[in-house]
């Protein structure tokens, strides 16, 4: 009888165990986290569409796109505009010129705007890049959603109050804040939407790139 009771208890234990012991339980961290998968494809510069001679009115335009998670979705914009079929229809995005891209040196703060600065760390942003100027070691980093934000933990045993800086609601980097934890401090940078990110080591700290 005792043997049967022990076996029953052992069979029930997995029902109460956590699904994955290597991830924190709900309440310990703000979840879910983005998969942050990067796919190398050329950037959109301009696509051209030539319509047949019978075309007179563009009713709507539908764009099929792939999300960060790999889902295929569609978005339709109703236009109801007359057109000249002799002229092509363009789909484009404003791109920085190659000369401007080359001027963004990874080892210079030129063209970068300072958004937050403390004695041991400073943050600068420019379009799709943010410089984190610090001598402290980056322990870990990850991205979180709702809202999307990049989290970076730097090793330093300090006791400071929280700092926050609102950048610009029209920029990709919306705000940045720094908070104190035991043995490290955390930098949280909020984004204006969904992005994948990459962190590279530079001469005086780290470079955060989003796309």
For residue 132, what pLDDT is reported? 96
Q: How far apart, in Å, are the Cα atoms of 120 and each of 29, 105, 181, 194?
A: 26, 22, 15, 29
**pLDDT of 107 over the 50 cut:** no
Pair 53, 132 in one domain = no
Same domain, 199 and 115: yes
Tokens representing residue 158 in the block? 């300090």
The reply to whether the predicted model has a pTM over 0.95 is no
Provide the token pair at 139.
Answer: 């322990």
Q: How far is CA 77 from CA 15, 56, 80, 88, 193, in A?
A: 49, 17, 10, 18, 20
Task: Assess if residue 85 is contained within a domain.
Answer: yes
Q: Are residues 70 and 170 in the same domain?
A: no
The answer to whether residues 151 and 142 touch, using CB atoms and an 8 Å cutoff, is: yes
Is residue 57 assigned to a domain? yes
| Whole-number Å distance between alpha carbons of 40 and 103 | 23
Same domain? 128 vs 175: yes
168 domain residue, yes or no = yes
Verify that 79 and 106 share a domain, yes or no.
no
Assigned domain for 113 exists: yes
Give the number of domains in the chain.
2
Q: Lowest mean pLDDT: which of 86-90, 100-104, 142-146, 192-196?
A: 100-104
Q: Tell me whether residue 11 is in a domain.
A: no
Among the candidates 59, 92, 125, a domain finishes at 92
Q: Which domain holds residue 201?
A: 102-210
Residue 172 lies in a domain: yes
Tally of CB atoms within 10 A around 115: 20
Are both 172 and 110 inside the same structural domain? yes
The strands making up 205-210's β-sheet, listed across from edge to edge, are 113-117, 121-126, 129-134, 205-210, 197-202
């Amino acid at each position: 009888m005792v043997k049967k009771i022990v076996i029953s208890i052992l069979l029930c234990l997995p029902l109460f165990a956590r699904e994955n012991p290597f991830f924190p339980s709900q309440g310990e961290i703000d979840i879910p986290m983005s998969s942050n998968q990067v796919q190398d494809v050329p950037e959109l510069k301009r696509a051209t569409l030539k319509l047949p001679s019978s075309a007179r009115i563009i009713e709507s335009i539908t764009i099929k796109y792939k999300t960060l998670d790999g889902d295929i979705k569609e978005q339709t914009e109703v236009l109801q505009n007359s057109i000249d079929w002799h002229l092509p229809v363009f789909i484009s995005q404003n791109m920085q010129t190659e000369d401007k891209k080359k001027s963004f040196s990874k080892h210079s703060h030129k063209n970068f705007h300072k958004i937050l600065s403390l004695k041991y760390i400073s943050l600068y942003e420019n379009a799709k890049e943010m410089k984190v100027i610090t001598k402290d070691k980056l322990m870990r980093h990850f991205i979180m959603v709702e809202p999307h934000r990049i989290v970076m933990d730097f090793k330093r045993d300090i006791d400071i109050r929280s700092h926050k800086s609102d950048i610009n609601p029209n920029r990709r980097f919306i705000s940045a804040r720094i908070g104190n934890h035991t043995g490290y401090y955390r930098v949280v940078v909020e984004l204006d939407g969904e992005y994948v990110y990459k962190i590279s080591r530079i001469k005086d700290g780290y470079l955060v790139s989003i796309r």
